[in-house]
Amino acid sequence: MDHRPRVGVTGSVRRWAPAWWGTKTALSLAGASAMRISTRHGNADETLDALIVGGGNDISPEHYDGDLTSPVFYDPDRDLLEIRWIRYALDHKIPMLGICRGAQLINVVLGGNLHQDIRNLRHLTYNRPGLLPTKQVKIEPAARLAGICGKHNLRVNSLHHQAIRKPGHGLHVVGRDLDGIIQAVETRSGQKIIGVQWHPEYLFYLPAQFALFQWLVRKEWG
């Protein structure tokens, strides 16, 4: 009988979705089973041990009082699906890891808001997206995330043009890039929640990034 933790993973509906396969592989190596959740995939149920809210397209600004005329692509059905799962996880104290869009959406559900476009805020970091760990992020030395990753200076990838502006209720900012843009948030007590602006599912070959998946499936917080 399989006693491995069951982790729901939200994301794209596409059959070839690299983020899904990267996350599934990382979770498998961490000793967990991944259950895919999307508007076309429903193989997760309410027996989940943890939830990963994955990256993807922008969040509809109606959810955080943003500019409704902003000319970007949204997926309203995905927004609603993931909001329901985040609220379920919050209500049932299920550990959560938010990745890029996922970190932003957890923040929005908790009452925070977003920068809709950070490109004009960048001066020391690139707007150019990339999967390789080329961007610097400084983690607060006392943060749980620093203990999980084993360091407080990280090299990460970057695929986003939006970011957390005001953290939601119970979330603490623990990581920023060289421009001061928020790159990581976490809870300090109670439910296990970490949100990162980068994509660790593409970097799980690095011990500091793989540690996030190991942390998610451990029973203890630290």
Q: How far apart are CA 154 and CA 156, in angstroms?
A: 6
C-beta separation of 98 from 196 below 8 A: yes
Helices assigned H by DSSP within the chain: 18-29, 76-91, 101-109, 144-149, 207-217
Of 100, 115, 160, 186, which one is the catalytic site residue?
Answer: 100
- State the DSSP H helix or E strand holding residue 149, giving kind and residue range, or none if neither: helix 144-149
- Is 199 part of the annotated catalytic residue set? yes
Task: Give the residue among 70, 43, 76, 218 at the shortest CA–CA distance from 144.
Answer: 218
Of 115, 149, 160, 201, which one is the catalytic site residue?
Answer: 201
- Is 100 part of the annotated catalytic residue set? yes
Backbone φ and ψ of 77, nearest 5°: -65, -40
Catalytic residue list: 100, 199, 201
